[in-house]
Structure 1
C-alpha cells in the first residue's frame, strides 16, 4: 500500500527551514532524519529567497552581550543582503548569534 504524504503549509516549511539552518547538519543528513527529500528542502528555500527579494523589508533582531571587542583591523562578512564588520578580538558568541539570526532572516 502506498504511503500517503501530507502537503506542508508555508508556515510549517518556514519552521522546518529555520530548524534546518540552526541544526548545523548537512541538507542530506537533516532531510534523512526527517524523511524529507533534499530537493524539496532546497526548492522551498529557493522559493522563500525569491519571495524575500521581492519583499525587501528590514527586520531588526535584538542581541544581548556582556563583553566588548577591541578594534585594530576588521573584515566584512556578507550573509544575504546583510554585512557584518568583524574586528580583531571579536566576541565569538555574539558573532555566532548574529550569523544565526541573519541566516533565519536572509
Structure 2
C-alpha cells in the first residue's frame, strides 16, 4: 500500500515540527495549521505513545550557590536572574514561567 501525498506531506511537517523545538501550539501558529490536525497526524504516524510524550517539555535549570552578598543567580537557558533577600516570589515565578516558554 503506497502512502498518499497527504500522508507524505504530514510526515515532512512532523519532522519539521520535531526539529523546531517549539511547542505544538507555537509551531502550528507559525505554520498556519490547526493544532488538532498536528495531534491527529502525530498519533496516526508515530502512534499514541509518541503523541503523549511530546506534550511535556523540560527546560534545564542551573542553580548555583549563593554568593557572599546573599543573592542568588538563576539561569534558564541563556537568561540569568539575580535574586536578593526580600524578593517577590510570585513575581519571580511569573518571570520563570515566561522564560521557560521562550527557551
Same fold (TM over 0.5): no
Task: Name the TM-score, length of structure 1 as normaliser.
Answer: 0.39
Instruction: Kindly indicate whether structure 1 or structure 2 has the higher relative contact order, using CA contacts under 8 Å at least 6 residues apart.
Output: 1
Larger radius of gyration: 2
